[in-house]
Amino acid sequence: MRKAINLLICFLLVLLTASLAGAAWAVTLDPDIFTAFRDPRTSNKLAVDFANTPLKLWQMDKDFLCIQQRLLRTPMDYKIAEFLNDYDYDAEGDPLARKYVAIAKARGNVVKSYKPPVNQIIFKNFRHPATNPPTTGKQYRSNLDRALIEFDQSGRIVSFMSRLLMSSSNVLNTEVVQYTTIYLGPKNARALENVLSNRVLEENFLREF
């Protein structure tokens, strides 16, 4: 009897902890971003809008959301070089970018697209979930994709989206995986403002949404 009671208490504590964690996240995270991207019924899946895509929620925390998709998987390792040489991903028009731009516009902000050097600066200066902790046998490239940055009406950074490619090989398969990370919150926004000069932004600006 006592064992059953203890098990019940443990179960209730787990439920309470999960409930409190969910409530804390609802308060601390960007509600617009997380409502649009995360399935409210579970903490480890994307919203139903992405159900029929290869996109998967990789990691999230109070100030970032990282999404994974496999772009290539083949037993022929030489295909990686071919794939990367021909790489021309639509970082402005895929489902994640379209949703991100729609959220920014809905709250009266704009999104600006920048050439890969800005994406490289983001990768160099911010912790990336896919590389933490570092893993041997994998190569990472941040110099092939564009970055998207959300600005408010006063010109301050609100959030930003960056892309990272990870390639790896083993005896069975070779694959290329893309990680899209949305960085949130004033701390990340101010940190990016500190490492991005106006000159870099002007030289790498592509377009505004």
What does each of the 209 residues of the chain score in pLDDT, given as a tens digit? 555 555 545 444 434 444 444 443 444 458 889 888 988 887 678 998 898 899 999 998 889 999 999 999 888 777 888 999 999 999 999 999 999 999 999 999 999 999 999 999 999 999 888 887 666 678 899 999 999 999 999 999 999 999 999 998 776 788 999 999 999 999 999 999 999 999 999 999 999 99
Residue 77 and residue 174 in contact, taking contact as beta carbons nearer than 8 Å: yes
Length of the chain, in residues:
209
Q: What is the pLDDT of residue 118?
A: 98
Phi then psi for 121, rounded to 5 degrees?
A: -65, -40
For tokens 């592509």, name the residue.
206
Separation of CA 72 from chain center: 19
Print burial letters for 73-87: b (CB count within 10 Å at least 16), e (below 16).
eeeeeebbeebeeee
Which pLDDT score is estimated for 21?
Answer: 40
pLDDT of residue 3: 54
Q: H helices of the chain, where?
A: 2-28, 31-37, 79-85, 95-106, 116-125, 185-195, 198-204
Rounded to whole angstroms, how far apart are CA atoms 147 and 196?
A: 12
pLDDT of residue 14: 39
Amino acid at 82: E
Ranges of each domain in the chain: 30-208
User: Going by C-beta distance under 8 Å and a sequence separation of 6 or more, which residues neighbour residue 86?
Assistant: none
Provide the angle, in degrees to the nearest 10, between the axes of the packed helices 185-195 and 116-125: 120
pTM of the shown model: 0.82
